[in-house]
Structure 1
Amino acid sequence: MEAVTPTTRDIVAKLWSLCHVLRDDGVGYNEYVTEITYLLFLKMLAETGGEGRLPAQYRWERLARREGLDQLDHYKRLLLDLGNPKVETDHLVLSIFTDAQTRLTRPTNLKALTTAIDKLDWFSAREEGLGTLYEGLLEKNAAEKKSGAGQYFTPRPLIDCIVRLMQPQPGEVIQDPAAGTAGFLVAADHFIKEKTDNLYKLPESQAFFQRNGAYHGAELVHDTHRLCLMNLMLHGIEGGVEHVDTLSPDGEALGKADLVLTNPPFGTKKGGGRPTRNDFSVTAETSNKQLAFVEHIVRALKPGGRAAVVVPDNVLFEDNTGRRLRTWLMDLCDLHTILRLPTGIFYAIGVKTNVLFFRRGKTDKGNTKAVWVYDLRADMPAFGKTRPLTVAEFADFETTYGADPNGGAERQDQGETGRFRRFTRDQVAERNDNLDIAWLRDTEADAEEGLTEPEDIAAAIIGHLRAALADIEALSDELDGEDGELVVTLPEAAE
């Protein structure tokens, strides 16, 4: 992914400083980025010569030159009309502005925003890439508030590591069924553009495909979908991510993919709901979203297609539906590598996560011969605000993984004192297909004792509570419908 330069960081910092203005108008962190996206979309179309997509009266200059209540009223009409299919016909514009509303109530605050945006160094922003600027704003939002927006934001060093290992290629269909703000898709696009001189080495038909047909995905949360489309547009990708629920029949319409890169949401569907997919057989009766997403990914892969997916630990050890899913996965796919991730890299430190790397077989039986496990969790610090995750943390894993995206490079089992080990399919079967395999001393508690920032300490506590609630929900889910049914009512987790 593009490096954020000091100039871009300066522009991001100036944009982020405007959130203090909006906070006085009752606009929170998460709403701020959505609010600023509406205005940045208009301004960036003006900066890139793309204003032909908009009705003349709703272009940036017409909005920015207005004053007072007239400007605020015009802005409110603009949001309504650009999201109205009877007024606006451009699909991207409609998708970004559908159901758009402003939380601004004071004309002075809107004027402060438009004035400040106009004063930014747009020449430098264009030179360095407007997509890089917007990506920096999304990252800043996630870093400032790990709950909320952070739950949709996979750490960029992890994304870049996964993309380098999976080596997306021109002409491949790449899917993210839980796209968030499009981090994986943007990183894959950047990887391909670096290898093809920004697509100029490709025939025009292939370049057109990369811009318009290579990337597919879904995002359920409406405001996050807006940010996703904006991010894709600013990186030269036109649409491709739909505002749908992957675990509904709409998910089948995402089609087949050569490569799936994703970090699905953790937890259970609200109200204990089940997937409504007609093609699901393994996870049809569970409300556990991460299990159901794994089934979608396996079904979405073309024969020979590959995937890298972030999952919490319970996917590796949960019994009943979880075990059936793992057995099915290892039959249909070559699950060749598992990366045990450090704690604290997501919004909740107590949530332990992994990356599964697998390739869909051309038959439906016996594709996994052995599973390699790399433990990047034991004897590692707890990452958080005072210790952010960096690309350096993944250097040894990338070396040991090897140059073959499908795990076929020569590898060395490092034994009980090393981080990288091989377990045959028979050894995994002896564990009842439990893939939560650890052999190094668990140092998570030691790492958490070293936390100093109140935000990191609070995140650790919340993470452990969420993990406990998830265990209770899983138990309730398994007992649902049996005699002596256990009924558990859980409060919504605070974001």
Structure 2
Amino acid sequence: MTQPQTTRDIVQKLWNLCNVLKDDGVTYHQYVTELTYLLFLKMAEETGTEDQLPEGYRWADLARRSGLDQLNFYKGLLLHLGTDTGGLIQEIYANAATIIRKPTTLNTLVTAMSNLDWYSAKEEGLGDLYEGLLEKNANEKKSGAGQYFTPRPLIESIVAVMKPTLDDVIQDPAAGTGGFLIAANHDIRRSSDPEGWTEAQQRKYRRDTFYGMELVQDTHRLALMNLLLHGLDYDPQGAGIRLGDTLGSEGEKLPPATLILSNPPFGTKKGGGLPTRTDFTFPTSNKQFAFLQHIYRALKPGGRAAVVLPDNVLFESGIGKQIRADLMDKCNLHTILRLPTGIFYAQGVKTNVLFFTRGKGDRGNTGEVWVYDLRANMPQFGKRTPLTRGHFAEFEAAFGPDPCGGSEALAARTDTGPEGRFRRFTREQIAERGDSLDISWLKDDTASQGDLPEPTVLASSVITELEAALAEMQSILLELGATEEDLEAVGVLA
């Protein structure tokens, strides 16, 4: 979705304000978090929703002050909103602390934000403005923010083929800043008539449609702000993005879903060790495999999922092979999209989207897997060649109209042969490969042109491979009876 010019201009002006904080050693991610504290106050004033804020702790109360008095008031405001308000306000400001040290810095930010063209921003959509800031943050590779920011063209393409509806219960167990849920909401509202929804449909939409979980508190507050500005209500007892660990007991409380859209984090579980979930069949410290188990177990019969996962999930042996076999038993794993390299923060990481549908029973649900190779002979994506929705057009056409990948839809697909991008592999052929799903056939001419990736990209790729190998070693040793204490003692526990 292309942002209107006024929105882009405001995003750039807000982004340029970060230069004011450079001397304080502030990262871009810290800056966006700080902007969120201030933007919430300003946008509440602009949208006439200040009644959700306590009197005396609103934008005008901050803006009319100056100097040290303004900075001290701001610090007290953050503390009060994060502890004494309850609901969404307290969630957004929980444990909030300013990075601003100089009164002149705060005054510069407040004055500049007061002078922006908020009328035009409201006309074009405040949610788009905030998305623009998050995208700017993700594009700054040094901030590391791209680890949780999935490219919007990819999200929009996935949502388009998965066709969310008002009847769905939609979940993202690794929600980040909420991009998948927001795109699904946009698609639902575009493909139906919200004005014609019944009262029961309205109630279901608000309270029992969008669920997510995010582990990192700063990212969680960005997600809450993002959902708010896109018109998604916050229900402390129902739908929304919760702060918690999906791989812990909180994850067991997420309701069963009919549609899961997610890009789980890469690597091993933070701090090492296994997930504390009690309902996983296969214990593993590899976060992608743990999230994959959660996702296919959380689907209702007939529910569908699209999940972004790195290559090692397709080929890792040991417990990885067992999880893939379990996935293909319990679900119809009908499509794999091999994504281009260089579209995420960790550019050396090669990724895929797995599309699957939970079966009515738990055995033999995958009969064939279709692989679409969008990686070979593709451009080097970056600032010079940005990824766009158009790059996914042929894949979307080949995927077909059925989001569940049913037998009739699969029969209508065309295997393009060894020279094409879309090919069919039977479950028997995959079994002969040792249940490896790392399937490629096209010669990648771009890989033989002598253009080596940047050293940081190569290093990132090596680190990812080493983490995958370490996770596999942990799994094997645990299968052989070793304890986590044993692994830690010999330095094998990540």
TM-score relative to the length of structure 1? 0.93
Trace 1:150-169 onto structure 2 (pairs within 5 A). Answer: 150-169=146-165
In structure 2, the partner of 1:74 is 73
In structure 1, the partner of 2:248 is 248
Instruction: State the alpha-carbon separation in 1 of the partners of residues 69 and 449 from structure 2.
Output: 55
In structure 1, the partner of 2:175 is 179
Q: Does 1:203 align with 2:198?
A: yes
In structure 2, the partner of 1:379 is 377
1:137 deviation in Å?
0.8
For residues 490 and 389 of structure 1, do their structure 2 counterparts lie closer, same or farther at Cα, with a shift above 3 Å needed?
farther
Q: Note the alpha carbon deviations across 1:323-345, whole angstroms, 9 max, x for none.
A: 10011001100000000001111
Q: Note the alpha carbon deviations across 1:396-417, whole angstroms, 9 max, x for none.
A: 1011001111123210001111
In structure 2, the partner of 1:307 is 305
1:26 deviation in Å?
2.6
Instruction: State the alpha-carbon separation in 1 of the partners of residues 143 and 104 from structure 2.
Output: 30
In structure 2, the partner of 1:291 is 289
Instruction: State the alpha-carbon separation in 2 of the partners of residues 12 and 479 from structure 1.
Output: 49
Q: Report the 3-state secondary structure (helix = DSSP H, G, I; strand = E; otherwise coil) of the residue aligned with 1:272.
A: coil
- Residue type of the alignment partner of 2:189: K
Instruction: State the alpha-carbon separation in 1 of the partners of residues 276 and 449 from structure 2.
Output: 41
In structure 1, the partner of 2:60 is 61
Trace 1:336-355 onto structure 2 (pairs within 5 A). Answer: 336-355=334-353
Instruction: State the alpha-carbon separation in 2 of the partners of residues 471 and 196 from structure 1.
Output: 43
Contact 1:382 1:448 survives alignment (8 Å): no
Aligned counterpart in structure 2 of residue 473 of structure 1, from 443, 448, 470: 470
Q: Report the 3-state secondary structure (helix = DSSP H, G, I; strand = E; otherwise coil) of the residue aligned with 1:339.
A: strand
Q: Report the 3-state secondary structure (helix = DSSP H, G, I; strand = E; otherwise coil) of the residue aligned with 2:271.
A: helix
Aligned counterpart in structure 1 of residue 210 of structure 2, from 193, 208, 215: 215
Instruction: State the alpha-carbon separation in 2 of the partners of residues 121 and 324 from structure 1.
Output: 56
In structure 1, the partner of 2:21 is 22
Instruction: State the alpha-carbon separation in 2 of the partners of residues 221 and 335 from structure 1.
Output: 30
1:140 deviation in Å?
1.0
- Residue type of the alignment partner of 1:233: L
Aligned counterpart in structure 2 of residue 391 of structure 1, from 389, 396, 401: 389
In structure 2, the partner of 1:454 is none
Larger displacement relative to structure 2 (462-471 or 425-434): 462-471
1:450 deviation in Å?
6.9
Larger displacement relative to structure 2 (19-28 or 380-389): 380-389
Instruction: State the alpha-carbon separation in 1 of the partners of residues 493 and 341 from structure 2.
Output: 25
1:3 deviation in Å?
3.2
- Residue type of the alignment partner of 2:112: A
Contact 1:326 1:433 survives alignment (8 Å): yes
Instruction: State the alpha-carbon separation in 1 of the partners of residues 363 and 153 from structure 2.
Output: 35
Instruction: State the alpha-carbon separation in 2 of the partners of residues 427 and 363 from structure 1.
Output: 22
Q: Percent identity?
A: 59
In structure 2, the partner of 1:268 is 268
Unaligned runs of 5+ in 1: 452-456
For residues 48 and 370 of structure 1, do their structure 2 counterparts lie closer, same or farther at Cα, with a shift above 3 Å needed?
same
Q: Does 1:411 align with 2:406?
A: no
Alpha-carbon RMSD across the aligned residues, in angstroms, is 1.8
Instruction: State the alpha-carbon separation in 2 of the partners of residues 124 and 40 from structure 1.
Output: 16
Instruction: State the alpha-carbon separation in 2 of the partners of residues 136 and 312 from structure 1.
Output: 26
Q: Does 1:428 align with 2:430?
A: yes
Instruction: State the alpha-carbon separation in 2 of the partners of residues 418 and 329 from structure 1.
Output: 27
In structure 2, the partner of 1:11 is 10
Contact 2:126 2:229 survives alignment (8 Å): yes
Contact 1:382 1:447 survives alignment (8 Å): no
**Count of residues paired in the alignment:** 479
Instruction: State the alpha-carbon separation in 1 of the partners of residues 387 and 456 from structure 2.
Output: 16
1:108 deviation in Å?
0.5
Larger displacement relative to structure 2 (134-143 or 400-409): 400-409
In structure 1, the partner of 2:129 is 133
Contact 2:171 2:210 survives alignment (8 Å): yes
In structure 1, the partner of 2:237 is none
Contact 1:338 1:355 survives alignment (8 Å): yes
